[in-house]
Amino acid sequence: MRLLIIADTHLPQRAKRLPELVWNEVAEADVVVHAGDWVSADLLDELERRSRRLIAVFGNNDGAQLRRRLPEVARAELEGLRLAVVHETGAAKGREQRCARDFPDTDVLVFGHSHIPWDSVADGGLRLLNPGSPTDRRRQPYCTYLTATVNAGALADVELHELPRR
């Protein structure tokens, strides 16, 4: 099972549209994960149309329309892998311990908010992933997204992709 993991798209504020490379990944993915800060529901509508399966949450910049349609925390089981998605996890310091405490029955936690890619493992084995942003690099050298595969309950082939500068 192929995953595309994105967050913090901020459309149309930070960009007019998602980069074509990301849309190509949507077409290849079995599951698209979006960790919030959509800003406009137009992208949600389009991802729902073009994704085989979408797992998504709202972020702090998402208004009432998106909050009515999306949860604050999403959970799914993918071939035995227990996945959770949330927008914010708090400060980087102590993140692993906090998330292991708050998501005890989770194998992988996807989050956003910072626009800073993150890949770590907490005590107990919880994997934490932040894909950065495909549209707003902020203090990062590139806009980014993640892909991964799930096979028999295990996450593999996690890859951070850097998008060409526009």
Query: What residues make up the domain containing 6?
Result: 2-162
| Residues in a beta bridge with 6 | 34
| Residues 9-19 pLDDT 10s | 999 887 889 99
Residue 98: what pLDDT? 97
Burial class (CB in 10 A: 0-12, 13-18, 19+), 19: middle
Residue 68: what pLDDT? 98
| Residues 18-62 pLDDT 10s | 999 999 999 999 999 999 999 999 999 999 999 999 999 999 999
**Using CA atoms, how far apart are residues 143 and 145, in angstroms rounded to an integer?**
7
How many CA atoms lie within 13 Å of 16's alpha carbon, on the beta-carbon side? 1
Q: How many percent of the chain have pLDDT more than 70?
A: 99
Count of domains in the chain? Answer: 1
- 102: domain CATH number is 3.60.21.10
